[in-house]
Amino acid sequence: MSVRDVSYQECNSCEVIFASPDVLAGIDAGKGIVEYNEIYWKEELYAARGRSWGTSLARVAEVFLYARLPISKFLDIGSGPGYLLDSLQYQLPSSQVFYANELFPPADEYCTTNQNYLRGPLSSFDISFDAGCCIEVIEHLTPSMVKQLFTDLAQKSRPNSIYIFNTGLSHYIKNEDIGYLDPYKRGHIMGWSIKGLQTVVDSIGFQILPIPGKSWAFIAEYRPDHEFREDQIDARIWYAFPENVNTLKDKKTGDLMYILGLDTVRAYS
């Protein structure tokens, strides 16, 4: 298939959809087909704000219920301007567990002022995390970039750390939204699959898990050793750690985020 003048191919073995190897090699060499500059960020800010005050909250809530460890530090990976930190602070004001990291942030005037917004390489910060989210990021990254992201994340994780990724998987692209492949405006060069991702990150120590009913999200757990690792992940919501439930049931704002977590899992299961 071709989108404008960019050819996309599909791996017969793992079903990953990818822009042509020449394009990927150019991006790895620093010749990006999208320039993530001020113009890009101005167009992206509206969408980022909408996600941060909507669907991203649901992703955060559900991963707190899937986790098989207490979450004391949660990271928004590739957070853009960091708006999700602001919405989480508003919805869960009693909690201090949330951080965000952006390698290529927009200008300061567009970014959150939250002190837990970390600019620069994740590897440069002396902080470890128990869980996190990565919203609409890895479809922009080449396989080597994704492998580096997971390598860096492994260094900041402990066994059973859990991360949710929101991205259009190859099944979603082929059956629901072929327009997700958008090399120039949105910079979407990859459509990952569960099998393809597992191949990339297996040696790093991550297990990739599908989420029932969600062809646009998956779970990555670091060196899982708990009894639930082979089960359907949606069953975990009934055995959530009390500490994580208590985070979602904020003493100031109530149970909204806990209910959101339950319902977003049950609605798709």
Q: Tens digit of pLDDT for each residue in 164-194? A: 999 999 999 999 999 999 998 889 999 999 9
Q: Tell me whether residue 2 is in a domain.
A: no
Which of 155, 184, 181 lies closest to 170, judged by CA? Answer: 181
189: Cβ contacts below 8 Å, ≥ 6 apart = 6, 18, 19, 23, 24, 27, 33, 139, 140, 141, 142, 183
Q: In what order do the strands lie in the sheet with 214-222?
A: 117-119, 98-102, 74-77, 129-135, 157-166, 214-222, 206-211
| Per-residue model confidence as pLDDT tens digits over 186-228 | 899 999 999 999 999 999 999 999 999 999 999 999 999 999 8
Q: 3-class DSSP state for residue 205?
A: coil
Q: What is the spatial order of strands in the sheet that 2-3 belongs to?
A: 2-3, 6-10, 17-19, 190-191
Predicted pLDDT of residue 232: 87
Q: What pLDDT does residue 229 have?
A: 79
Euclidean distance between CA atoms 118 and 265, whole angstroms:
30
In a domain, 16, yes or no: no
- Residue tagged 């942030």 (tokens): 105
Residue 53 has φ and ψ, to the nearest 5°, of -100, 10
What's residue 39's pLDDT?
72
DSSP states along 125-157 = S---EEEEEEES-GGGS-HHHHHHHHHHHHHTE
Residue 26 lies in a domain: no
Q: What is the CATH number of the domain that holds 231?
A: 3.40.50.150
Domain assignment present for residue 256? The answer is yes
- Domain-embedded: residue 12: no
pLDDT < 50 stretches in the chain? none
pLDDT at residue 36, rounded to an integer = 65
Q: Which range marks the domain in which residue 232 is found? A: 34-268
Q: Is 101 domain-assigned?
A: yes
Number of structural domains (the chain) is: 1
Task: Write the DSSP symbol of residue 250.
Answer: B
- What is the signed CA dihedral for 171, 173, 177, 182, rounded to 10 degrees? 170
Q: What is the pTM of this model?
A: 0.96
